[in-house]
Amino acid sequence: MPELREHPEGPVRLLGFWGSPENQELPNPADLVDPEWEEEERLSVADYLDHGQVAGYWMGSSRCRLCSRLNGSRDFTDGYYLWPEGLSHYILDHGVRLPAEFIDHIERRRNVFDELDRDVTWWRENAART
């Protein structure tokens, strides 16, 4: 069975947080636009991003840095990475490309779930235990 955790000791990695006039240490999404990025992979990555666990709420919605639309007020996580709810919008509507390492991570995570050994014993024995 594949490893469930690839960096169990490490902190969750932030992804898709953008710089601002006050904080220019973070990337600018406009610099990451790749109009050549294949639609199939963009759709797949956006789907993954939209199905994270909610990790937190912000007081207000953020705005897209590229088109100014309201773009979510929550953070999502998969336990390894943490990203703002609106990240999929950057990918689908603006072609902002994420690092290959993250695309590989998504592929590995999906493979883990495809290859899980399944055991119904616990459920049979514990379903009625409350």
- Give the nearest distance from C-beta 90 to Zn ion in angstroms: 7
Q: Based on the shown chain and the rule CB under 5 A, indicate whether residue 46 belongs to the binding site for Zn ion.
A: no
Beta strand 53-57 pairing with 81-84: unpaired
- Give the nearest distance from C-beta 71 to Zn ion in angstroms: 7
Q: Based on the shown chain and the rule CB under 5 A, indicate whether residue 64 belongs to the binding site for Zn ion.
A: yes
Q: Based on the shown chain and the rule CB under 5 A, indicate whether residue 92 belongs to the binding site for Zn ion.
A: no
Sole binder of Zn ion in the list 32, 66, 82, 91 (CB under 5 A): 66
Q: 70 or 116: whose CB is closer to Zn ion?
A: 70
Sole binder of Zn ion in the list 67, 99, 108, 116 (CB under 5 A): 67
Q: Based on the shown chain and the rule CB under 5 A, indicate whether residue 33 belongs to the binding site for Zn ion.
A: no
Q: Based on the shown chain and the rule CB under 5 A, indicate whether residue 87 belongs to the binding site for Zn ion.
A: no
DSSP the chain: ---S-SSTTSPPEE-S----SS-TTSPPGGGGB-TTS-HHHHHHHHHHHHTPEEEEE-SS--B-TTT--B--SEEEE-SSEEEETTHHHHHHHH-BPPPHHHHHHHHHHHHHHHT-----HHHHHHTT--
Interface residue list for Zn ion (CB under 5 A): 64, 66-67
